[in-house]
């Protein structure tokens, strides 16, 4: 067939086109409609504050010289609960040095600056939520402190609560919104959607793996 073009049929573009269409429609639904805001309301566990024996603040990462926004939000919420006299002790989690920045130590410094006495601060490690549940249990159960106010992100609460209850704690959820939940700007809605998709996938994996 010299001088003429051989027509080669393209293989099944419909699958990739269908996926592409789903992506575009999903993007518009998440960025330009209130869908993620509504999903958020259906996704989160309600706050249940009450008197407890400890406030446990889960880690959320730190860079070399400062706490991430999520880590800061959780720490401040835990400190506020302490000042409301809902528990006598605050457990501040964060990976130990060697596994990243000293998040727990940076949070402890913040807590002291905001008026929490040294003897009310407990530092604990843990790189995953499961490790944090074990670390908290090791530090609190020996003093009979098993009723806790658990401070973590509102989307993360379901998994964290399940792991801490499985460890033996009686958990009162004290969730923190870590992304704008009522935002109208597309960027805010996409951040909310990303958080929901991330945690939704994690829940599914936990269920399939039999972790919870």
Partner 1 sequence: MEAYFVLVLVALTSLGAGLLEARRQPRSFVSLRAAAARALEAAGLTIVFFLANVATGALLTMAARASKVTFISIYLSTDVTLIVLSLLQALVYQRWREGRLEAR
Binding residues vs partner 1 (CB under 8 A): 6, 8, 10, 13, 15-24, 32, 99, 127, 184-186, 189, 194, 198
Q: How far is the CB of 127 from partner 1 (least distance, A)?
A: 6
Q: How far is the CB of 190 from partner 1 (least distance, A)?
A: 10
Nearer to partner 1, 88 or 100 (CB): 100
The strand pairing partners of 121, in sequence order, are: 90
Nearer to partner 1, 138 or 205 (CB): 205
Computed from CA positions of residues 102, 161, 163, 55, in that sequence, does the dihedral angle turn out positive or negative? Answer: positive
Q: How far is the CB of 183 from partner 1 (least distance, A)?
A: 9
Nearer to partner 1, 10 or 142 (CB): 10
Spatial separation of the C-alpha atoms in residues 124 and 106, rounded to whole Å: 12
Nearer to partner 1, 130 or 147 (CB): 130
Nearer to partner 1, 77 or 189 (CB): 189
Q: How far is the CB of 169 from partner 1 (least distance, A)?
A: 23
Q: How far is the CB of 95 from partner 1 (least distance, A)?
A: 8
């Amino acid at each position: 067939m010299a001088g003429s073009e051989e027509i080669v049929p393209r293989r099944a573009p419909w699958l990739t086109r269908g996926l592409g269409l789903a992506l575009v429609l999903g993007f518009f639904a998440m960025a330009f409609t209130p869908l993620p805001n509504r999903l958020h309301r259906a996704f989160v566990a309600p706050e249940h504050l009450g008197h407890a024996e400890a406030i446990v603040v889960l880690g959320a990462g730190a860079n070399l010289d400062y706490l991430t926004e999520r880590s800061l939000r959780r720490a401040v919420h835990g400190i506020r609960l302490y000042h409301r006299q809902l528990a006598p002790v605050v457990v501040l989690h964060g990976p130990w040095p060697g596994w990243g920045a000293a998040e727990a130590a940076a949070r402890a410094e913040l807590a002291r600056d905001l008026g929490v006495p040294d003897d009310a601060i407990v530092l604990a490690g843990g790189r995953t939520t499961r490790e944090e549940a074990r670390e908290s249990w090791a530090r609190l159960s020996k003093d009979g402190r098993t009723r806790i106010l658990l401070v973590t992100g509102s989307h993360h609460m379901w998994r964290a609560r399940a792991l801490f209850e499985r460890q033996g704690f009686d958990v009162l959820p004290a969730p923190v919104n870590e992304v704008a939940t009522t935002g109208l700007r597309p960027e805010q809605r996409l951040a909310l959607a990303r958080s929901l998709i991330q945690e939704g996938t994690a829940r599914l994996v936990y269920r399939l793996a039999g972790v919870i």
